[in-house]
Amino acid sequence: MKHLTRMLTAGAVLVAAIAVPLTASAAEKKIALVVKALGIGFFEAAAEGAKEAATEIGDTEIIYTGPTDTTAEGQIEVINALIAQKVDAIAISANDTDALVPALKKAMQRGIKVVSWDSGVAPEGRQVHLNPSSNPLIGNMIIKLAADHMPDGGDVAVLSASATATNQNIWIEEMNKVMDQYPNVHVVTTVYGDDLFDKSYREAQGLIQSYPDLKAIIAPTSVGIVAAAQAVTDAGKIGAINVTGLGLPSEMAAYVDNGASLSFAIWNPIDLGYAAVMLANDLIDGAEAKPGAELSMGRLGTLTLDDDNAGAMADPFVYDKSNIDKFKDIF
C-alpha cells in the first residue's frame, strides 16, 4: 500500500511524493507534478487535484516535487532526477520558457510524456501546454480589477514573480495591449519579487515609498498579492492603495476583510493540477498531441489544442466581500 508521504527539508517545505493508496505493480503509472517552488499554497492545492486525478485513473503514483526556489536551474535538476526514475510523464509549471527545453527534450527522447501547465515551456520542450485560462482574458482581468475601483484614473504598479516567468510576462503583455481602454490609468513600473514573500514585501514597500500617488498594486502571483496586501496594511494605506491581481481565497480573505484588497481573481488550482495529470494520462494512453486534437481533462471536459498544442482550462473568477467566505476554507 502506498500512502501520502511527506519529507521535510530545510525551510520545512514539501519535497515528497503524493501517492494514492494502491498496491504497487509493474504496470503502475508514475506522473510527476513539478512546481515552480515548494512551499507555495497555490501549488500545494494543485497537488491535491493531482492526487484526485490519480485516484480516479487508478494504479497511478503522483510524484509532487520542485526546487526550493524559483529558478530554472533547480527545475533542471528535478527533471534530470525524474528521468533517472523513469517516470511516465512530467507535468511542469516552468520557471523559464526556454531554459528547461534541453532537459525536457531529453525526457521526451526517453519516452516520457511532457505537459506544461500554468507557466509554459516553449513548444519544442513539451507536447501540450495547459493554460489555466485564456491569456487575453487574464491580461484584461487584472487591469480591469484595478480600474473598476479607480473612477478618476491614476497610477498603478505591477508586482510580478520572476522576470523570466512565462505566464506572468504573457499576462502583463496582454494587459498592456488593452491599456487604451483605460486612458486615465497609468502603469508606472513593473517590479519582481521572485515569488518570495520577503522580497515581494520589500518591493511593495518600495512602490509605496517611490510613488506617493499610487492607487493600486497589481500582483498576478499568489505570493506577491499577499505580500503587497500586507505591505499596504502595514503602511496604513488601506483605502488609498488597492491590491489586486491573482491570489488564493484562503490567503487573501483577511485582506478582503480589512479592505486592503477590494477584489482579486484566480482559477481553481485544484482543478488545474487535476487537469494537468488527466492530460498527461491521456498522452500515456496513446492520445496524439496535434493542433485541433481534443484531449481529456476528466470531469473538466476536453482541451482543444491550438496551433501551438496549447489550450485553456477556464475563465478566471473574481472574489470579493460578497463571496470570499464561501471559498476561503476550500483553497
The mean pLDDT of 7-31, rounded to a whole number, is: 45
Architecture of domain 18-132+268-313: 3-Layer(aba) Sandwich (3.40)
- Structure confidence at residue 27 (pLDDT): 58
Which residues, in sequence order, are bridge partners of residue 156? 187, 216
Decide: residue 320, CB within 10 A, 0-12 exposed, 13-18 middle, 19+ buried. Answer: middle
Instruction: Note the pLDDT of residue 217.
Output: 98
Domain boundaries, the chain: 18-132+268-313, 135-266
Which pLDDT belongs to residue 95? 97
CB 126 within 8 A of CB 113: no
pLDDT digits 0-9 by tens, 62-80 = 999 999 999 999 999 999 9
**pLDDT value, residue 300:** 95
* Mean pLDDT along residues 119-148: 96
Which pLDDT belongs to residue 314?
Answer: 85
Q: pLDDT for 138-159, tens place per residue?
A: 999 999 999 999 999 999 999 9
Which of 101, 61, 68 lies closest to 85 in space, CA to CA? Answer: 61
Average pLDDT over every residue of 191-218: 98
What are the residue ranges of helices labelled H in the chain?
41-57, 72-85, 101-109, 135-147, 166-177, 197-210, 222-234, 249-258, 269-284, 324-327
For the domain covering 135-266, report its CATH number.
3.40.50.2300
Q: For residues 110-133, give the mean pLDDT.
A: 97
Cell representation of residue 149: 475601483
- pLDDT exceeds cutoff 90 at 194: yes
Q: Is 325 helix (H, G, I), strand (E, B) or coil?
A: helix
Q: Give yes or no on whether 18-132+268-313 and 135-266 have one common fold.
A: yes
Tell me the C-alpha distance between 209 and 237, whole Å. Answer: 11
- What's the pLDDT band for 246 if we cut at 50, 70, 90? very high
Of 22-36, 148-162, 261-275, 290-304, the least confident: 22-36
Residue 309, C-alpha cell as written in the block: 498544442
